A and B are shown apart, each in its own frame.
Chain A
Amino acid sequence: MGLTLDDVLVRLGDFTLTADFSVPDRAMVSVLGPSGAGKSTLLSTIAGFLRPERGRILFDGQDITDLAPGARPVSILFQDANLFPHLTAAQNVGLGLRPDLRLSSEDWARVDEALARVGLAGLGARRPAELSGGQQGRVALARALLRRRPLLLLDEPFSALGPALRAEMLDLVAEIAQEAGSTLLMVSHDPRDAARIGGLAIVVAEGRASPPAPVATLLADPPEALRRYLGAETAPGTSRDQAGRAS
């Protein structure tokens, strides 16, 4: 049944965002749209950091609108500050098992396994400051792997990485989402990321989050809002259109 946003409206000062759609279980969904359109707002609402003014958020038929962020079936990776700088990589991952970090020796073994899975075997004792940006992202992914929440939300956590490293991380994300059986919602401002992940895409523009549609179809024949965002680069001949609308 997956995730459903039922007639949701979020207000942040003058800005509003509406969403009314469902995401099928285990889908890989890219969230596309111009900056400031509300991609992060959408994820923050699903994760429980913003309360919708109207509507309900359902997961597997259950209303989660009033649940605290930690109690939702959600793991989220923010743009930055995904790790506590005063804790080691292993401790940061361990928080995914128990938020009070009272772990048994089996638990710690699972932490080591998760670190090894993301390619960080033996680095558990390091603090985030002693890791590279890509490694920090991997630690956060290892934690998401252990939390095994059915929804994995990515709010551009890899935007500071170079293209090659980012592609690598996206592949790892896709693998991990599949292994954990999670639905993936990933914010991106680069349509190539969406193409790489495949699956579905939600377009957020002009105060509205559209229902998910297949990425391939979307990119081949972009709807009006997406076409304006993508601009001349992928949809030639639309720039004049855009200028006309702006005047």
Chain B
Amino acid sequence: MARRPVALGATVIAGAAAAALVLALTVGTLAAVALRAEFSRGLGPAEWAAIRFTLWQATLSALLSTVLAVPVARALARRHFPGRALLVTLLGAPFILPVIVAVLGIVAVFGRGGWVNAALSAVGLGPVSIYGLPGVLLAHVFFNLPLATRLVLQGWLGIPAERFRLAAALGFGPADIARHIERPMLRAVLPGAFAVIFLICMTSFAVVLALGGGPRATTIELAIYQAFRFDFDLGKAALLATIQFALCVAAAGAARFVTVPEAAGPGLDRPRELYLHGRLRAAADALWITLSAVFLLAPLAAVVLRGAPAIAALPHPVWAAAGRSVVVSVPSAFLSVGLGLAMAAAIARLGRRRGAAVLEGIGYLSVAASPLVIGTGLFILIFPIADPARLALAVTAVVNAVMSLPFVLRALVPELRRIEADHGRLADSLGMHGWARYRLLILLRARRALGFGLGLAAALSMGDLGVIALFADPEGATLPLQIYRLMASYRMADAAGAALLLLALSLSAFWLFDRGGRLGADA
């Protein structure tokens, strides 16, 4: 197609600059790591064990999440029941739920003094321990079952109604429907869901920090942290970080169908009529829905129940940590959305030119990047010139912004493409370029997406427990790190209170920004 002779100008340059910054943080820090890594040392048994455990737990987590998602999504796809919309909305909630809060809830339900063990001992069964692989899997399934369910549900609701009508007209039984309609959809959806969950679990840190550990349940991510904090062995940390990156690249490359999940999926609000109404099937669906709802809600309920009494009497350091979390998350959100906006505007402007795909690819890079690898790189770069602990909050804000970027872009790119398609020609014909175009067109029309992106990035940053653990000194913790420390010293009541506070902060950060974007945004 003939292309416009428009000077792409400032918009594209700004987008390219943002992309360069993202590249420097993801690939540049990696270079710093690789230069520092002591390859000659080779891999000891502990490192091999960490590699094996990383892959093993990620495989199991992804497998469990996707396999369990199928019956849950099927039940949600074909049943009307009160609270269905709420449950579907809730499936999106783990996305902005701070990991450490969920971990605390899972410990409260499944841990040594938790509800499950209380029930077991009442019937004379011994206590089960969740530390190690079981706890890591529980937490990973808690976070990723909802994600997988939403992806599969999208697949189910994406099957045209006509196909089911045709099946009914042809007298298909359940087995025929499964074979001709449902299985092809699952074959298309499940590998992508598996791949994205595998990647998420490979770089998961907070879960393994809190529930794993020891020689039998240490991931590479955790080993990087330990090499740092306990051995202060930068060479080893860098070696591990290089391995982690190589594994991530290999996994991402092997799974090219990885799609960044949308943080909010539209159109999941109506169940589909599947022409299947056996009584046994209805009972099974009800069971799946109940089980998944209980599995998702019980840990949250536990945090609220245990945390509420403690929240008023929280010690001062917790409030100070909460303040630091707010101070980190708000600038981090604006940085993430600023980068995302610059890149999305350039992507929309470039249309179908190759540059758009390159920019998008760079933006999504951090899905496969590990925050601890980025953190290690930044530490190596900062260490010679400044005390990393003094920059802990700034570094955390920047790394969080880059980690949120894929999800921010996922929200902004389609919106800005639409704005460009609807109003781009008019803006061009009037000579609206650069800042005027942002001020008078993009910022005003993309308010909803911007508010959503800000809320998402703020909540993600508020709940993040990653780089901060590498950098912070005892006085500089953010709230998630403070909660981890309370847990580690078995002050569970305070930890629950602080977790409730963090939950409230994350959800209100999301709500405030998201709401702010909706206010005054006209259709």
Chain A residues packing against B (C-beta within 8 Å): 10-13, 47-53, 65-71, 74-76, 78, 81-87, 91, 95-96, 99-101, 127, 129, 143, 147
Nearest chain A CB to B432 CB, angstrom units: 4
Contact of A51 among B3, B426, B428 (CB under 8 A): B3
B521 to A, closest residue via Cβ: A86
Q: Can you report 19 residue pairs joining A to B where beta carbons are below 8 Å apart?
A: A12-B1, A49-B4, A49-B429, A50-B2, A51-B5, A65-B5, A69-B6, A69-B431, A78-B426, A81-B422, A81-B426, A83-B426, A84-B440, A86-B522, A87-B444, A95-B430, A99-B440, A100-B439, A129-B522
Nearest chain B CB to A193 CB, angstrom units: 22
| A48→B6 contact, CB < 8 A | yes
Interface flag for B436 (CB, 8 Å): yes
- Taking CB atoms, residues of chain A closer than 8 Å to B523 are 85, 129
Chain B residues packing against A (C-beta within 8 Å): 1-7, 422-423, 425-426, 428-433, 435-436, 439-441, 444-445, 522-523
B445 to A, closest residue via Cβ: A86
- Taking CB atoms, residues of chain A closer than 8 Å to B426 are 78, 81-84
| B2→A99 contact, CB < 8 A | no
Nearest chain B CB to A215 CB, angstrom units: 27
- Taking CB atoms, residues of chain B closer than 8 Å to A78 are 425-426
Complex Cα gap A22–B234 (Å):
73
| B431→A68 contact, CB < 8 A | yes
Contact of A48 among B5, B422, B445 (CB under 8 A): B5
- Taking CB atoms, residues of chain B closer than 8 Å to A50 are 2, 4
Complex Cα gap A65–B4 (Å):
11
A53 to B, closest residue via Cβ: B2
Contact of A95 among B5, B432, B444, B522 (CB under 8 A): B432
- Taking CB atoms, residues of chain B closer than 8 Å to A11 are 2
Nearest chain B CB to A211 CB, angstrom units: 23
Nearest chain A CB to B267 CB, angstrom units: 24
- Taking CB atoms, residues of chain A closer than 8 Å to B7 are 68
B447 to A, closest residue via Cβ: A86
Given A86-B445, A100-B435, A100-B436, answer yes or no on A66-B429 (Cβ-Cβ < 8 Å): no
B520 to A, closest residue via Cβ: A86
Nearest chain A CB to B386 CB, angstrom units: 40
A95 to B, closest residue via Cβ: B430
| A99→B6 contact, CB < 8 A | no
Nearest chain A CB to B416 CB, angstrom units: 15
| A84→B425 contact, CB < 8 A | no
With A100-B439, A101-B440 given, name 19 new contacts (CB 8 A): A12-B2, A13-B1, A48-B4, A48-B5, A49-B4, A51-B5, A68-B433, A69-B428, A70-B430, A71-B431, A75-B429, A76-B429, A84-B423, A84-B440, A86-B444, A87-B440, A95-B440, A99-B433, A99-B436
- Taking CB atoms, residues of chain A closer than 8 Å to B425 are 49, 69, 78, 81
Given A53-B2, A65-B5, A84-B441, answer yes or no on A47-B429 (Cβ-Cβ < 8 Å): yes
- Taking CB atoms, residues of chain A closer than 8 Å to B432 are 70, 95, 99-100
Complex Cα gap A133–B440 (Å):
23
- Taking CB atoms, residues of chain A closer than 8 Å to B431 are 68-71, 99
4 pairs of A and B residues whose beta carbons are closest in the complex: A70-B431, A100-B436, A69-B428, A99-B432
Nearest chain B CB to A233 CB, angstrom units: 34
Complex Cα gap A96–B432 (Å):
10
A140 to B, closest residue via Cβ: B426
Complex Cα gap A208–B108 (Å):
77
- Taking CB atoms, residues of chain B closer than 8 Å to A83 are 426
| B2→A85 contact, CB < 8 A | no
| A51→B436 contact, CB < 8 A | no
A10 to B, closest residue via Cβ: B2
Complex Cα gap A10–B375 (Å):
52
Complex Cα gap A147–B444 (Å):
24
| A100→B522 contact, CB < 8 A | no
Complex Cα gap A10–B1 (Å):
10
- Taking CB atoms, residues of chain A closer than 8 Å to B441 are 84
- Taking CB atoms, residues of chain A closer than 8 Å to B2 are 10-12, 50-53
- Taking CB atoms, residues of chain B closer than 8 Å to A76 are 429
Nearest chain B CB to A58 CB, angstrom units: 15
Nearest chain A CB to B177 CB, angstrom units: 41
Complex Cα gap A71–B445 (Å):
24
Nearest chain A CB to B365 CB, angstrom units: 32
Nearest chain A CB to B518 CB, angstrom units: 14
- Taking CB atoms, residues of chain B closer than 8 Å to A87 are 440, 444
Complex Cα gap A50–B439 (Å):
26
Given A49-B425, A75-B429, A81-B423, answer yes or no on A67-B439 (Cβ-Cβ < 8 Å): no
Contact of A70 among B429, B439, B444 (CB under 8 A): B429
- Taking CB atoms, residues of chain B closer than 8 Å to A129 are 522-523
| A99→B430 contact, CB < 8 A | yes
Nearest chain A CB to B164 CB, angstrom units: 37
Complex Cα gap A11–B3 (Å):
10
Q: Which of the listed residues B430, B440, B441 has the most CB atoms from chain A within 10 Å of its own CB?
A: B430
Nearest chain A CB to B89 CB, angstrom units: 28
Nearest chain B CB to A148 CB, angstrom units: 13
Q: Which of the listed residues B4, B7, B445 has the most CB atoms from chain A within 10 Å of its own CB?
A: B4
A47 to B, closest residue via Cβ: B429
Q: Which of the listed residues A49, A67, A143, A147 has the most CB atoms from chain B within 10 Å of its own CB?
A: A49
